[in-house]
Structure 1
Amino acid sequence: MPDLFVWSLDKTKKERLTEYSDLSRKWKVNNLNAISFSVFRDELNQQAFDLMEEKGQIEYDGTLYTIEDLDKTPIGDTQVAEITAEHVFFDEFMNRSYVYTVLTNAKRSLNAYMSFIIPDTGYTFSVIDSFDSKEIENFGAGNPLELFKKLLETFEAEFTVVGTDIRLYKRIGSQTAYPFRYKHNISDITKSGSARNLSTYIRGFGKELEDQNILKGESKNLQTRNGTWQDTSDPYWYTQTVGSSFQMQWYGTGIRFWYLSDPTGGVWEFTLDGDQTATLSTWSSETKTQSVQLFMDAPERAHTIVAVFKGDDEKHKPPTGPGTSKGWVRHSDSETLKTFEIYRLRTNDEKYAAVAEYTSPLASKYGIRVQAPEFDDRFTDATALQEHLKEILNDKIEISHQMKFVDLQKAGYPSPKPRIGDTVPYIVEELDLMIPDIRIMEIDEYPEDDTSPTIVLGNSREDYGEASFNSTKQQLDEIFDSRKGKIKNNVLEEAVKRATEALTNSLTQLEYPPGMGILARDPNDYNRIVVLRSSGLGVSTDGGVTFPNAITADGVVTNMLTAGQIKTNNIQIIGEDNLFYWDGTELIAINPTNQNKYVRLNSGGLYIARGAGVIERADGFKLVDDGYANFSYAVDMASPPPISNGVYFEGGRWYKQKNTEKGDVFFYSFEHVTRYLYLNLAFYAENGGSGYIYVDGSGVDTGTNYASFLTDHSEGNDYATFGRTFVADLGTPTGGTKSVYVRVKSNVADKFVAVRHIRGYLRG
């Protein structure tokens, strides 16, 4: 029997525990194994007994367990303890570290998610099977065990732990054709089924939208026009008469007003229900159709807006002279788009960024059984929300069969005992049951006495197709010989039969040393042997002193692999400084200190995230360094520049300004594809004067050293010029369009400041 040891809580002492009884070991799919036993404190075991305390550790059969339940009861002059200890993995994986960050929402492989939660846990991982990539919203910010369980649910994965390596499969165990059959190898059968709270349909609602207004799909023309209108031809009307007006009557919460803007545009003033007012200029440097929202978030009821034309826009006089501005309004009797569109409050599904529903395949059998809706503001994507609904829908028919295991070897089972996760045929003729593939979900075994183990056969979810209760007995009769209690040989593939016969008849070069399994020795080299034992297959070149090439239940070890082609689902190479792996979907290298910095290669192309890339030319120059472009993009300057009043051009190359208010000199527009804008400018001030130069733009951070620069030419040389490269931080590149102005002002009235453009470019 294996020895049982107790470790002190601080792991400094280890004592053998004796005189314990009723030791049982429970195995369960995706729950590893746990042990329980009872023990009296006596002279033989008192030192070990006194070491036992909650969260201490028990070592049994080479496995460590954490004591989770410890009940001690005094009996006479001594005491008895009842102990339940779970596999140490759960305690260590939950408490050794914490994941503080949250991943950005994106589809990732199981490997990528595991690489995110595994650092600092003391464990490694291996993904054995191939899994599709999944998107899990807001994944992170939790202890690794909680996040690990989330991955098991999302990817429908199962796991085992070998040493400190977590191994992930689609299903643990194997498919076997050797049946569990009542009165042959199982007894004391109990069939249990539960359909409590069964549901087959669920709806879900994601994040509630901040803007609770939505267009009704209704567009209306203006009503009750007054005053003089110079043009009432569709699709645009206008008036040049100050005081001309029109009304818009509607039912809702706000409107979108449509108009034409051009260089002759003027100003409208709008009044809602005689109370709130708003103004709008229809002036624009170019002619185009525009719209604007008015009086949003008004109560949802009937409203009237009165619009009055106010004349010129004081900031933008019409080129045709004062008093000739036009108040443009869209109007059409033939087109769908008219003067204004109407908003209303969102209702029902419209209130949410994502709405989804899921119907279980079980609905075809049990009908629609509605589960309470799910409200979760983490979701803004309907596809991700639907995946979540699929996970939480209670469409499970729990069916299990508990039984005593008698002697499976007599039925031809290839191993001494059943294994957790195995799928077996199951026959109980007295219950009219014949299930060709049902899994071993739980095993309660008693390794130190003759009590038969209890086995639970069951199915996690009927809609996975595991509970095939309508199969016929004929399917099993084709493979199982009930008279002999054996699998019929003729169902084996011909190739398997030939291999079986060859191995049975090949006794040449084989040795059977006592307790050593089967040994095959090279007749030309005594030290070259192959050993086959229950623990594995080993190849040695030194007579069995070492086995550098071996296959065991824990994996494969080899010092050299030669292959024409390797087909695999997942390969991982994990070093001290990098996480590198590839699976059936992608090849990826992840920075272990920043999980969002990685390089990924798949059929969609190469993706380099968070500055992880360097591109170096043949001569050693780095075109891209840590993700930043190390070359320049030209910047276009508007020509002629849109200069402000007071700024003038003089001297063939200098733009000058005497005003003490900022004036526009240059205007640049460009695609936002780099982080920084560089502007090289020359400037000087008139004798006795000084001034400032500004680089201004929306969303542009020029910093205190760059936003302004004082130029003082007190030395008296009117033409002593200065040059400077101004650097503007444009923020994280978006790929959109950005623009900036260069502006100047003089500090001394009537003393000019001059500036000219030398060069502009984007970089970094």
Structure 2
Amino acid sequence: MPTPTMQVFDKNMRRFGTLVDSYDIQRRRRINSDYELTFMVPMTSEDYQEKIAIKGHVRDERGQFYVIQSRSRSREGRKLTANIYCNHIMFKLNDYKFPYASYIAEAYGIHINQLTDLITAATGGRFKFVIHDTFDLHDVKDFGRGTCLEALNKIIQMYECEVEPDNFTINLRKKIGTDNGLQYRLKKNIVSSSFKDKGESLVTRMFAQMKDGRTFIGMDASKLTDEERSLLSGVPGTIVNGKLAVNYLISPYAQYWASDSVPFYDGEIIEQDIEEPEELLKATRKALREQENVTLEVTVSTADLFKIDNTEPKPHLGDTVMCIDPAMDMNKLKARITELTEYPYSRDKHSEPTISNVNLRDYADIISDLERSKNIVNNSFSNGKIRTEVFEAYAKQAVIDINNSKTELIYPPEGGILAQEKTNPLEQVRLTSKGIGISTDGWKTIRAAITARGVLAEQIIGQLGSFVSLVIGSGNNVTKINTNGISAGNDDYTIAPFRVDMQGNVVARSIKLTGQIDNSEMNTSDIKASTVTASTIRGSKLIGNEIEGGIITGALFRTAREGRRIEINSNGLTAYNSRGGESISLGQYNDGGGLLFMDNGSPRGSIFGDSNGFHVGNMGGVYIKSTDDMVYFNGEINFTDAIVNGLGIDKITLLKQTISNLQNDISEIRGDLFNGLITNASFDPSSRNLKLFSRGKTVATVNIPAGGSSNSSTT
């Protein structure tokens, strides 16, 4: 049996053949990071000389394609070998520049599908994405600066998802891998192991800042979880009058790690892309959760029992496993496989999983995160000096901003700050401790104001930001815009007669359309219209004055819902009387058609045709009648199996006269036979007379003399 190995393809993914001389095939994968494959091949082999080319492809036993990126050659005496490095075909995304037309400077409430669709379009549909879980909407800023791979990394960071590539199809999940009960246990499948725990990045109190150095100080403490509120309440002055007075959260493990010298291990996040306090709170909560535990890392050299026993579980990237080696302080230690090195074609080499409670990042990952910022900075400098045109652009914009400033700041005696237009002093904006007011008549009236009670304005123009809820009206006579979508007619979104969800799906109890619906499919229970023109209409009810078309296909057609009606379905046509009972049924019978007549559902007659002929029948009588004309029969009529009743002589033209004539003729013949037909004879020896008799008379007398001629007489 040949040794299994990889298939090789050219740059256009046309198959070249099989790598028969390759060895030391190693595959290394890391969550949201490396997907690489390396192997050795003799330089004198046909594999190296004819099959392996830069930007060519190899395919492993999982059906995954890898791009040949480099060939490292080495000599050991006469032995010439090459080390081939390949990475997964997913990394071809780095070869596609994200189009400037699709760049997003800032957008709010974006679904992950909207961003992945942009990447798919940028690659000409080559790469496709499958979203397996539900992700929250996310505000997006500065998306699409760079390659499509950078855009994918941005999506991974924003939506906190994990990638599982399947060649050109990229699967996005909240967490890849499963928990199949895989255990690495001493004396079973652990060959060697190393276990390291680190507390360098431990954080038990996380501070936070957002854009412009702002924090969530002053936010209502009701936004905290019960556990967060309880932990903060243990520190005096953190919550004052129901408001947060600090910009940090405390870990529930803080007491365990606290010491006399260090009560808290502090950390800080600065999120310049966040502008809302609640979003900053969520980010702080997530960052603290990731750093409040000691980092664990286990590297295990395992025995791949699945290579000799198919019932043994096979490790996969992202799987949750349990490590049991008490002597190594691994007492049922449970964590995920964050990195997996495999030798898929070698039975004597075994997998080397790295098990950790965090996704490990190497130097290349950190450098790639800095690449985008570095490019922006490099664009402003040349040979260590700021570029002239960049400096001039900055200076020019600063002068423009200063010259365009036509507002004078005044500090009135009554307090506050008054911003007054220099060219029109009647236009004023005043800031006080009560709020902000805007006037266009020298503060006689206020056109718009913002106070603690709300916002007052004649109209709001432009794009509104991220709101938790917008309510117009009260009770069930209300229109709402919130995280569910838009609803009207009921306070409860789920039963509102009109609602639109975040995906654009609309539910409406009644709707009046005066325009045109193009390239859409309508699925509804009730459509009422004088004219409907569409390629496809689906629904449980269609109401209209007229339906016109070349072909109408459906399960049931009927003239009324109940009572007297006609129905057409796959069984045929059925007519019902006013009581709802079947009266006529037209359908298929054997290989032909049949018509069944019924009286309130009971069969009363049938007409059908088949290969034997045309049949008319009934369990009762069969009546054939012409009211204004005669009933005509043409062709032969066979009464072999028939019994005819009630057919009178008077009903058949000339039949009576013909029979009467026949009777007269028969009577005449009978009389002749009665009187003339000889039926008997007698001979009188004395008179020598032979008499011949009919039934009515003596027909003849013949005298027969003895030895002489005879004389006869007749009557």
Bigger strand share: 1
Range into which the TM-score falls when normalised by the shorter chain = 0.3 to 0.5
Larger Rg: 2
